[in-house]
Chains A and B, each alone.
Chain A
Amino acid sequence: MSLSAQNLNAKFLRSFYFGGSLSANQGVILILKLIYEFWGFCLNGGNSLTQPGGMASSQVTGSYLSQATGFESGSNVLLASGSDGVTSAGLPYFTTVTTAPFSTASVGKWLVLWKSGSTSTDDSIYPITKFLGSGSVVVDPTYGGTSVGANGSVPQFTSRTNINYRVVDFYEVTQLSGYNDGQYMVIQFNGASTLNPGQAASQAQFIYKPTNVAGGEGPAADFSAVGITLSPSGSWDGNSTFVSESYQSFIGDGNSGPGSAGHGGGDWFDDGDATEINITLIGGPTFLIGQWGGREAFGSCFQIEIPRRLYPQANDPNPICGFSMSANGIFTNAQVGYGYAFRWFPSPYDSPAGPRRWPILMRCYTGAYWSYFPWDTGSVEGGQIGVVSLFNNPITSKFLSTDGILGQGGVNGQSSVAGQYSLCRAQVLSTRWTSDRFPKFMRIGDGADRWIHVNGGVLWPWDHAIVTRPLFVGF
């Protein structure tokens, strides 16, 4: 089995900053709206200015989305759109050729940019910082943009024309009336088969859940415990259910592990408000990562991905996994079952229907298993994973980092199921791991195999970009 690096074709929304004060409910609405724009247009958009790509398309009735009226393209939300955008290399200007979408009121709104089929990291969401004319504004290119040079730089625009754009007011979308728990959005991984031949376009549903669900917290009126439901076969019926699948949704794990006070949490803002928050989205054809934190909220994140299938297609046709952590920071030195050491992973063999938590296994660089603890201790230097020099080859200027694979074994709070043992089902591609002693934000790797240290030894896809805003707040 060769587990080589995969070109993830990642795009980025780097630390989207929202300076106002929102409730937790409004905070999760904002996050889902960002996902809608980033996933639906920047990552999967075609040439339609109102119809997102990458949404559940197999429905027989209904929709991929249930939100307040106007969520997608209401007049207060979608202020303008067009397909004649132009950017120039190194310059922070966005101009149009014939359309005139801007006014002085555009400042403080956001510009969603994409080109159909493009792999450019310029496809992202940008704040409008200055009005220059009805067809010209200044934006902050560092929200997306392209990092230039082998060692990275502050991201900037490249030269492009015929750019599709949407001018969006993300604040107004949070002010619409008609949001309730149970509303949802179902995204679809059309790129699944490019990784795993024959795989269906698997789906994932984000669904608002009350924060007083079992293990949750917060007032009953809150629905900021967003659940995620995975559909390996991509069978959303467009109305209320996934056909022939009955996998349960999962909410974010809190900061109390299953071995102590239950998973807890669930609230993506930890019962606080969404005030002065920074949100980062990283996505590609086979994965989506979201992370946010703010003045009143610790760091939270979710991650959904199509892992590389390691069993024959017939035995595991449609692997998709994910997890969510609520106001928990990020760390791995915890028991399996929470922390960053597992994935919810629906299995065709789950009985009763799962999904269950699958431990992540990673390469040990000190032998058959870590000496004592995975991320720390051990009295010999070379036995300490926490020692930077263990992972740093000063001669090659390369760093060791490991991929992760998903196997099925008993975890804390979830006993093993007889007959459902799996040593190695799939490989996680959108995360790698290294020493937690490396500085946060350290960027490693070369070419398409480039990563950033999020914290706690966790590496996410990155492009060596340098960002001056607070990044991965709360981690």
Chain B
Amino acid sequence: MTLHVCRDFLTTGTNLSDSCAEMTPYFMAMFLYTVLGYTIVGQTNFNLTGSTLLKGYGTNGSLNQGTQATQYAFKCPTGTYTVTTADIGRILVLKSPGNPMINSGLFRVTGVDTTNNYLFINYRAGATPPAETNMTWGLYENELVFLTTVNWPNGGGGVGNGIAGTYQGQTSSPQSRIVMQCPSSLAWQVRICYENYYDYGGGGGGSTMPGGAIYSSGITQAVGFGGNSVGDFQPGGQHTHTALFFNVHAGTWTSCTSGIWLSGATQARFYIWGDDQTGTVFMAGRSVVGGGTDSFVHFGIPEDEEQPLPPLTVQRLFTIGANQSGNSGNNGIYWNCGPAFSRGGMGFGLSNQPVSCIYSLYNRMDGGLFYENATLRGADYANDSEYIAATELLSADLVVGTLDNNYENGGIEQLILEGRRIGRAPIVRLGRNNYGNYQTTTDPNQSWIHLADGMYLPWQGPILP
């Protein structure tokens, strides 16, 4: 496992009426393709590697040219790409072979040196990048250009393929979506999809869905197999997109897909963790302007998988993230999953259909009476452990098939109950939640960052305020 971290990518902020939620799939796709080595299986109106978006791509790039003036300079190898002033504002994506937790990621191009073919980047780490060569790189258009290519009008409007009573976001539907395949030999895939108005019932307008209920996050990430050239999994296929699996249009399947949804944010900071061997990803967005909520999505293969492994690889996969897009849902960064939390996950059951997936955490048995302290990590007196003079971190398990409804308590029983631990939640760890949000641990390497609610992820070095 080599963990690559996009440590702190700040959206442009040039046009603060644009939704960061809508930009998110672009950042994710760039990271998957350039840093983790995903390949593209198929897409519709999400042409990541077309000439409009991808301006340059190659290997053998180098970062930090050795002088104070060039420490943030990335050199495109001669003959591969010629920098111009038009590159300013674009996004340079780097895969670092030697410093993957600090030199990999997305970086804004802030200037150019056309004589030396340098791209100067905003490193956003409060530190100098270690000099490095042999870097895989991709230069992409900025996110504002990307937004002009997305088929998702009216911030989630649009139409599907027009076949009433079904999941319309497939086949001939023009809405933007892409299926990418991970670098692992398991060859599992992720489908990133802008859900259309009909399917997700945005604004309460879903004709068959009660009370503004919605299928999903407005933008979803589903994992599985069988992606096709237009960026779809198949109805009844091996994947976690429940509405597509059952090919249905009914509010009872609300929240049975998940994704990342920064509701309201118009400028945000993004952090992405990814393993270039398994393809597993944790992506978090932090609202800077526009208020709204932070959000995250997490998908891939667990660590410490339960043995023996299930018969199908898809039964080892998971995705957890926001599963409602309305502002009424708090899509923040927190561990809660399940009904009423706007957060949920999906796996694939031994029954060969999508089932729920949740983070399984240790909790006190006292439950109701001490409800507010039930997690212990949330106790107001929580502090560093005196045993180790540090903040403790624990693992969380991933358990599928223990919820029959992902939307609300008292909802219709939809999902099959077939409880099964699939493994340890990869990358993320659990700790006390009264540690400062977006603060790093105090050990010399600043080895972990606390996002919120006791969710800690690997880190290295300082972070900007």
A: residues with CB less than 8 A from B are 1-2, 311-312, 315-316, 332-336, 339-341, 349, 359-375, 377-383, 387, 389-396, 398, 400, 405, 407, 409-412, 416, 418-425, 433
Contact = CB atoms under 8 A, between A and B. Distances in A.
B403 A369 contact: no
A349 B386 contact: yes
A411 B369 CA distance: 11
A396 B350 contact: yes
Given A370-B367, A380-B410, A423-B382, A364 B432 contact: no
B417 A382 contact: yes
Interface of B, secondary structure class, is: loop
Interface residues of B, number: 64
A336 B367 CA distance: 9
A340 B349 CA distance: 33
A269 B336 CA distance: 43
Interface in B336-389: 336-339, 341, 349-351, 356, 358-371, 373-377, 379, 381-388
Interface stretch (B62-70, B141-149, B391-399): B391-399
Contacts of B364: 336, 341, 359-361, 407, 409
B363 A362 contact: yes
5 contacts: A359-B376, A373-B368, A396-B418, A416-B381, A420-B386
B31 interface: no
B376 A409 contact: yes
A162 B413 CA distance: 61
A433 B413 CA distance: 25
A332 B356 CA distance: 27
B425 to A, nearest CB: 12
Nearest to B362: A361
A341 B362 CA distance: 13
A94 B91 CA distance: 83
A316 B387 contact: yes
B387 A364 contact: no
Given A366-B358, A379-B409, A422 B367 contact: no
Contact of B365 (A312, A374, A423): A374
Interface string B402-427: 11110011110101011111001000
Contacts of A409: 364, 373, 376, 379, 381-382
Nearest to B392: A423
B363 A374 contact: yes
A391 B384 CA distance: 34
Given A365-B399, A433-B365, 19 more contacts: A349-B386, A359-B364, A364-B362, A368-B335, A368-B337, A370-B367, A374-B367, A381-B413, A382-B415, A393-B401, A393-B418, A396-B418, A400-B399, A405-B362, A407-B362, A412-B369, A419-B386, A421-B379, A423-B385
B338 A383 contact: yes
Contacts of A383: 338-339, 403, 409
Contacts of B379: 409-410, 416, 421
A380 B375 contact: no
Contact of B362 (A335, A362, A378, A382): A362
B338 A366 contact: yes
Given A383-B339, A390-B402, A393-B350, A370 B388 contact: no
Given A365-B399, A380-B411, A422-B387, A359 B365 contact: yes
Contacts of A390: 402, 417, 419
Give the one of B339, B367, B397 with max A CB within 10 A. B367
A151 to B, nearest CB: 20
